[in-house]
């Protein structure tokens, strides 16, 4: 079997410098993405003030909440990501209260310490955001004070995320993979991308459970 030649000190130093430069460029990219998304959110907020139709205003609110959550993830990646890995506990502790506040919910959060890929972190954050938007709209009718429970567990080879509300429930005909709303379409698309599974059940409200491989 061929042996891989060892790097000398100069080559090691060059490789280390290149990796450090790549990390700085990635952080700067995430920072720019976050700023751009935040700017779009501001534009949507300004546009909303001109609308007289409350249904259109609700659409802009939902779009703004989606963009704000993505911006928050990228800002976190720019500041706290270590290489290509993300401290998911820290990310969700930052993100979830803000997501809940955006849609007028109160949030209880329990997360195991775990380091995950940036792609998986973005996927988890987006799923939580979409399910929070759905809970505010469908479980609580956009009234203030609704409760959202979020748990994220390290199961060894996979992650288990639970997002639950205490609203009116799903109804017997609900199927998590058959929803026609944009939120569930986004969630199911993300679940497929990360090779996960999604289930839903009534547990004193709606409870969604995502399992996904830990990479």
SS3 for the chain is CCCCCCCCHHHHHHHHHHHHHHHHHHHHHHHHHHHHHHHHHHHHHHHHCCCCCHHHHHHHHHHHHHHHHHHHHHHHHHHHCECCEEEHHHHHHHHHHHHHHHCCEEEEEEECCCEEEHHHHHHHHHHHHHHHHHHHHHHCCCCCCEEEEEEEEECCCEEEEEEEECCCCCCCCCCCCCCCCHHHHHHHHHHHHCCCEEEEEECCCEEEEEEEECC
Give me the pLDDT at residue 45, please: 74
| pLDDT band (50, 70, 90) for residue 203 | confident
Give me the pLDDT at residue 34, please: 67
| 120-130 per-position pLDDT tens digit | 988 998 899 88
| pLDDT band (50, 70, 90) for residue 209 | very high
Give me the pLDDT at residue 1, please: 47
Whether the predicted pLDDT of 91 surpasses 80: yes
Sketch out the chain's domains with CATH numbers: 9-213 (3.30.565.10)
Give me the pLDDT at residue 165, please: 94
Give me the pLDDT at residue 147, please: 94
| 128-143 per-position pLDDT tens digit | 988 998 999 889 988 8
Give me the pLDDT at residue 18, please: 59
Range with lowest mean pLDDT among 11-15, 98-102, 114-118, 164-168: 11-15
């Amino acid at each position: 079997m061929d042996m891989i030649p060892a790097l000398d000190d100069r080559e090691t130093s060059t490789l280390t410098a290149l990796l450090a430069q790549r990390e700085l460029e990635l952080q700067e990219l995430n920072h720019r993405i976050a700023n751009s998304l935040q700017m779009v959110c501001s534009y949507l907020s300004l546009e909303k003030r001109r609308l007289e139709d409350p249904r259109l205003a609700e659409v802009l609110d939902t779009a703004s909440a989606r963009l704000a959550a993505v911006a928050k993830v990228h800002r976190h990646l720019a500041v706290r990501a270590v290489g290509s890995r993300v401290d998911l506990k820290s990310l969700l502790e930052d993100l979830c209260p803000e997501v809940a506040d955006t849609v007028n919910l109160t949030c209880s959060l329990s997360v195991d310490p775990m380091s995950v890929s940036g792609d998986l972190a973005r996927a988890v954050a987006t799923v939580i955001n979409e399910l929070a938007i759905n809970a505010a709209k469908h479980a609580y009718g956009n009234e203030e004070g609704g409760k959202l429970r979020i748990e994220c567990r390290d199961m060894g080879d996979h992650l288990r995320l639970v997002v639950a509300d205490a609203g009116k429930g799903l109804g017997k005909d609900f199927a998590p993979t058959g929803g026609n709303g944009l939120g569930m379409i986004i969630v199911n698309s993300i679940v497929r991308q990360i090779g996960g599974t999604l289930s839903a059940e009534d547990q004193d409200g709606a409870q969604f459970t995502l399992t996904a491989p830990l990479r």
